[in-house]
Structure 1
Amino acid sequence: MKYLFQLGACIPGSKDECVEMLKKGYLLGISPGGAREALFSDEHYNLLWCKRKGFAQVALEAKVPIIPMFTQNIQEVCRGAGRKGLFRWLYEKTRFTCIPIYGYFPVKLRTYLGEPIPYDPNITAEKLAEKTKVAIENLRDQYQKIPGNILRALSERFDKHHKND
């Protein structure tokens, strides 16, 4: 995974490194659900953040806004077999990310950015994380057909959409 992350310019930045990068004016893409959400979320697109709020704490310390983002059909790219049961239990106990994956379907992906959530020195990290979660769920509800469907997502590759869609 290390080489794949490097290829995508992903870094395993610490909280302090992320704050410094944001203060320097860089944009960061942070996935609060991390591996758990990537491996175990399904076609219903429920966010699996648990009580994660580190990303919100980073934004507050750097005094920057959060830009919510949602990618349509992202769960249709590939599917994991055994998202429940033994593989989930093993992941939760060890953080071992071995799950059989199939697919890598060439589905149509569209990424949508929401309105920035401005820096507010009077908000807690918990409240900012919840506000972000609601903003992403709103983007999901606006742009994703639930439940997701691989065949529908594949057919969208051939739809004629105008640039302003």
Structure 2
Amino acid sequence: MDMLTNSIKGFEDVIVDYIDVDFTLWLSWLLMPLLITFLLPVFILILLYVSALIFYIYKLHRVRLREAYGKDWKIAARNVVAAIWDVHGYILHGYEVVGMEKIPMDEPVLFIYYHGAVPIDLYYFVSKMVLVNSKIVHSVVDRFLLKVPGFSIICHVMKLIPGTIQTCSSILKDGNMLAISPGGVYEAQFGDSYYQLLWKNRLGFAKVAVDAKVKIVPLFTQNLREAFRTVSWGRRFWLRIYAATKFPFAPIYGGFPVKLKTYVGDPISFDDSLTPEEVKDKVALALEELINKYQKKPGSITRALLERIYDPSSSSSYDKTK
């Protein structure tokens, strides 16, 4: 009887040990895609903090670095950070800009772009402008970004502002370039793979263009919604939260290495006969034409991943993407 009892106990121990191990492995394999999907956006946050760290390094050691580079510390730091983002975009997304030659580099320009769940394409585009054309593009961001610990120096060096009509117009009148997404955080949080413009009745950017009398250049990045997405469940709940707080609480997932390609539209010249409402409609039409021409709808993560692997229209080398 003791032998039988010991045999049964030994058999139970073996079963429990192997079942526990196998169950743990199975559970880890089951949850791994979920963990990867929701944790990848954290890497973007880490890269932003790395950018802040570099800016602080240059700020604290600007005297020595200025002697080394012969430039203002912000210019030197901006170029280093731009290089990091440019390489990141090339490696992860094969990022390209098509139509850069359309941008008038010798005059102020207002860029109007579609806002993805994460505006990572703007980071890449601004970086290319810094590296290739030695131009810094001022960008309008939501005020909450200024309150994120460690981000104030990024906003300061990279010229990110929670712009009013007056400040944006002043920036352009001073001869600078400025990027605005009329949809803003609302479009980022509640847009989907059909890429509709969610501008509501926002006319601020049009009033800025009319007041500053500048050209408007539309920008659209193919597959942007396939790189990062917001969750589709609980939309009404997240809408209520956003309406009450104006803060982007809807969870973001993704970080998929899809092909990203920014298309530069034809510049829209200033026309003093147009009202802000007419300017808004004209720019929206131009941006929608870019979206309809270059984006297959609804967007597909699988298709965008395949385009990352093989895209015959892409440049064949890193240097050509610049």
Match of 1:117 among 264, 268, 276: 268
Amino acid at match of 2:253: Y
TM-score when scaled to structure 2?
0.48
Tell me how far apart the structure 1 counterparts of residues 234 and 183 of structure 2 sit (CA, whole Å). 15
- Please show how residues 4-43 of structure 1 align to structure 2 within 5 Å: 6=155, 9-43=159-193
8 Å CA contact retained: 1:32, 1:55 = yes
Match of 2:218 among 68, 73, 77: 68
Identity %: 45
Tell me how far apart the structure 1 counterparts of residues 258 and 284 of structure 2 sit (CA, whole Å). 25
2:303 paired with 1:152? yes
CA change 1:150–1:88 in 2 (3 A) is same
Amino acid at match of 2:215: P
Q: Which has the larger radius of gyration?
A: 2
2:208 paired with 1:58? yes
What is the match of residue 89 of structure 2? none
8 Å CA contact retained: 1:39, 1:83 = no
2:248 paired with 1:97? yes
What is the match of residue 38 of structure 2? none
CA change 1:151–1:29 in 2 (3 A) is same
| Count, aligned residues | 164
Match of 2:235 among 70, 80, 84: 84
Runs of at least 5 residues in structure 1 that lack an aligned partner in the other structure: none
Amino acid at match of 1:76: E
8 Å CA contact retained: 1:40, 1:83 = no
Tell me how far apart the structure 2 counterparts of residues 158 and 137 of structure 1 sit (CA, whole Å). 27
Tell me how far apart the structure 1 counterparts of residues 262 and 314 of structure 2 sit (CA, whole Å). 15
| 4+ long deviations beyond 4 Å | none
Tell me how far apart the structure 2 counterparts of residues 99 and 162 of structure 1 sit (CA, whole Å). 33
8 Å CA contact retained: 1:72, 1:110 = yes
Note the aligned Cα RMSD (angstroms): 1.9
